[in-house]
Structures are given as C-alpha cells and as structure tokens.
Amino acid sequence: MNKDFNGIYKEVRIVNKLGLHARSAARIAEIAQNAKSSVWLLKEGHDAVDAKSIIDMLTLACGQGVTVKVGVDSRSDAGVLDEIVKLVECGFGE
C-alpha cells in the first residue's frame, strides 16, 4: 500500500459455522454498497476482493476460523467498515 493511502482496515475472524457463505456475503455487500470509496476484503495468500460483490467474496472460500482484513479506501467510509466488522464478529447473527 502506498504512502498516499488514506484508507483504513481492520482484522476480523469469521466465527459463524458456515463461514462467509452466499447469504452472509450478500449482507456484507449490501452494507458495502453504501460506501463511497472501495471496500475490500483480503485473505492471506489471495488478492483483495471487492466487498460490494458477493461473487468476488465467495471466490475466497472463507470458512469458519479464517481471519480476513476488511478495508475501505477512504476514511470517510469508516462507518461502513465498522458496520461490516460488527456483522462479521457477531457471526452474521446466525
């Protein structure tokens, strides 16, 4: 990440049993749509994926126990980031 990078990210562990499956990814995407900048998800060993795209997130195949980084490209979207992190931490309320 270059110096001009103005974004922020947080690490979060996938705790729900099914992992980052279609429905949970859909909920992340719905929240991410509200961000003005890019929202991304990064899993060790993979390229970052677009958190506004369910399909992109599903290709990461994040099962239970995987830790991912979630980030937004602009600090102005910190609220969106927090909301996503909270959702993941509570296991998508499942």
For the chain, the residue count is 94
Q: Is 46 a catalytic residue?
A: no
Task: Give the residue from 32, 24, 26 showing the smallest Cα distance to 72.
Answer: 32
**Helices (H), strands (E): how many in the chain?**
3, 4
CB 81 within 8 A of CB 70: yes
Stretch that binds another protein, among 8-16, 56-64, 68-76, 77-85 (CB under 8 A): 56-64
Of 7, 20, 21, 60, which one is the catalytic site residue? 21
Stretch that binds another protein, among 6-14, 22-30, 73-81, 83-91 (CB under 8 A): 22-30
Residue 87 found at the interface with another protein (CB under 8 A) = no
Interacting residues with another protein (CB under 8 A)? 18-19, 21-23, 26, 29-30, 50, 52-56, 58-59, 61, 63
Catalytic positions, written as ranges: 21
